Amino acid sequence: MLDLKLFNARIRTVDDDRPRARTLGVFAGRVAGLDDAVADLPARTAVDCGGAVIAPGFGDAHNHMAWFGQSLDELDLEGAATLPALYDAVARRAAGLPADAWVVGSGYDDTAMGAHPHRAGLDRAAGGRPVWLKHRSGHMCAVSSEVLRLAGVLGGGADVPEGGVVVRDADGVPTGLLQEQAQGLVTALVMPYPVTELADAIGRASAVYAAEGLTHVVEAGIGLGLIGRSPVEAAAYQLARDRGALGVRVELMVAGDNLHPLRSHADDGIDVGLDLGLRTGFGDDRLRLGPMKIWLDGSLIGRTAAVTEPFCGHAHGSGYLQAGPEEMRALVVDAHRAGWRVAAHAIGDSAVDLALDAFAEAGRAAPRRDVRHRIEHSGVVRPDQLARYAELGAVPVPQPRFLHAVGDTMAEALGPERTPWLYRHRSFLDAGLRVPGSSDRPVAPGAPLLGMQSMVERRSSAGIVLGPDERVGPEQALRAYTIDAAWASHDEHRRGSITPGKHADFVLLADDPVEVDSGRIGGIGVLATFVAGECVHGADLLAGHGLAVDGPIPQGPRPRGPDTGATR
């Protein structure tokens, strides 16, 4: 007997051997079969889908889950269009806090407001409280005078970390803007966060992801470094799972800052790594270690990405690397030798050169088959670099929704000659590469259907098509967020398509993203999301959407107490 049978559906399997179906059977968390193979089998629960669309569960190959979950509980500054509006929002939040409490906000965009917040304005708005406002890119922040004082910047005693900048005005006075590694001056004051707090944030994020049809995400950097929240951050994901709050599958990138020398046997060739020799792949299909994340440069939004030609009309020139190139190449090679897949953050084309050179050196030093090292973002890629991606088997991981969220600003920074190189897609495919869908959430909106729409349209918020030759069709966009996202994680044999034997991870949609007008893809309703045949979103709403349900909808585990493990 099947656990679940869904029929009268329009199923897009994303399986080239059988692209369409009408009936789906599920047993023991796996796809048991399609159409005639399961149509006459009894099932504990049967769902008449009434013509609804079923697609494989969506994957996001690059997001920041804990960061996003925390941002849901912080002052949301994404909608602040002017500096006065931002200062007003800070003042309102401060008015409801104790006198010594921090005002923490996230998502502000200097390109929308025309400037970064200044510490003097933050001081006035918050009455002298500590204020920490995180830029939407994650590569800079604006802080008040009290934070600079606590960090030792105003007293002159703080050492600015390599790869970071404390921005100063013409008189040499700090403005309150901290870029790249200089943000560590602030995070040292507030981190590490408690594991319980992080688990709560991860649970909040998981609920949003499931509601958008996501069944698998890659967390792009835990532990130390620019994005890490705690040196024991993996424990927060384990706790969220134990509580029953982790409804989606998660692969954890480990920040390269966590690598340290190991006293392994000389024959092992493992000079650096994590304790116990943990590396990519440790864990299970629900929660496991993924690549080693190594930041090579900054952000295109903040003009700190390392490019070979200067930005247009910007004082930062050509951006900068996070550390010396030899040091970063050695880190990539060491991680590769220790058995890790490497995810190199490289946005500017100069940083992309460094990543490709490091991958080539690593391959010569310790040959491995089908490694699938990744270049996260691949934001500005010259035509001559495409063949090197293919030669080295490097996986580009661009974020299509950037084009809508901040594409106009990026195009202004790059100029018309380089704008066609921006967050490519079609050129990667033509070079024989596979391109997974990803968001970099919360830097940009993370709903996968919005990402698919941007892959197809490449339209900025001003309505300009950026790099029209890089557009792809809707079927390819669907593949990016399903089978190609799985492939980037070496998971194509387990998920990414609705194929007998694979995980029963799928989503019910109100319409077909391949057939609707491209401008409607992002607005398609997600009716329900299933992971391993269990509904993690929408179980109580299926009947309301006109689906006839006979029997109980299989659902995920009930939350467990974080301390005792007891069911409640």
Other beta carbons within 10 Å of 323:
16
Classify 396 as helix, strand or coil. Answer: strand
- The dihedral over CA atoms of 187, 190, 192, 195, expressed in degrees to the nearest 10, equals -130
Output the DSSP codes for 82-115. SHHHHHHHHHHHHHTS-TT--EEEEEE-HHHHSS
End-to-end CA distance of the chain: 30
List the Cα angle 387/388/389 in 5-degree steps. 90
List the Cα angle 335/248/566 in 5-degree steps. 105
Output the DSSP codes for 443-486. SS---HHHHHHHHHH-B-TTS-BSSGGG---HHHHHHHTTHHHH
Convert 61-77 into a string of H (helix), E (strand) and C (coil). Answer: EEECHHHHHHHCCCEEC
Q: 239 to each of 106, 233, 244, 422, 455, how far by Cα in Å?
A: 25, 10, 9, 39, 35
Domains and CATH numbers, the chain: 4-51+498-550 (2.30.40.10), 65-190 (3.10.310.70), 259-472 (3.20.20.140)
- The pLDDT assigned to 440 comes to 97
284 burial via Cβ count (<10 Å: 0-12, 13-18, 19+): exposed
- The pLDDT assigned to 566 comes to 34
From 233, 226, 177, 231, select the one nearest 202 (Cα to Cα): 233
- ω into 310 cis (within 30 of 0): no
- The pLDDT assigned to 206 comes to 97
- Given a contact cutoff of 8 angstroms between Cβ atoms, the answer to whether 336 and 365 are in contact is yes
- The pLDDT assigned to 128 comes to 95
CA distance linking residue 550 with residue 155, whole number of Å: 69
Contacts 24+ apart (CB under 8 A), 319-324: 319/348, 319/350, 320/163, 320/180, 321/163, 321/296, 321/297, 321/350, 321/351, 321/354, 322/163, 322/180, 322/181, 322/295, 322/296, 322/297, 322/298, 323/162, 323/163
- The pLDDT assigned to 557 comes to 52
- Given a contact cutoff of 8 angstroms between Cβ atoms, the answer to whether 297 and 353 are in contact is no
Classify 136 as helix, strand or coil. Answer: coil
Lookup: tokens for 22 = 């009408």
**DSSP-H helix ranges across 298-348:** 325-337
| Prediction pTM value | 0.93
Provide the residue-wise pLDDT of the chain in tens; the chain has 568 residues.
999 999 999 999 999 999 999 999 999 999 999 999 999 999 999 999 999 999 999 999 999 999 999 999 999 999 999 999 999 999 999 999 998 899 999 999 998 999 999 999 999 999 999 999 999 988 999 999 999 999 999 987 788 888 899 999 999 999 999 999 999 999 999 999 999 999 999 999 999 999 999 999 999 999 988 889 999 999 999 999 999 999 999 999 999 999 999 888 888 888 888 987 899 999 999 999 999 999 999 999 889 999 999 999 766 589 999 999 999 999 999 999 999 999 999 999 999 999 999 999 999 999 999 999 999 999 999 999 999 999 999 999 999 999 999 999 999 999 999 999 999 999 999 999 999 999 999 999 999 999 999 999 999 999 999 999 999 999 999 999 999 999 999 999 999 999 999 999 999 999 999 999 999 999 999 999 999 999 999 998 887 888 999 999 999 754 443 443 333 2
Report which DSSP code applies to 241: H
Report which DSSP code applies to 117: P
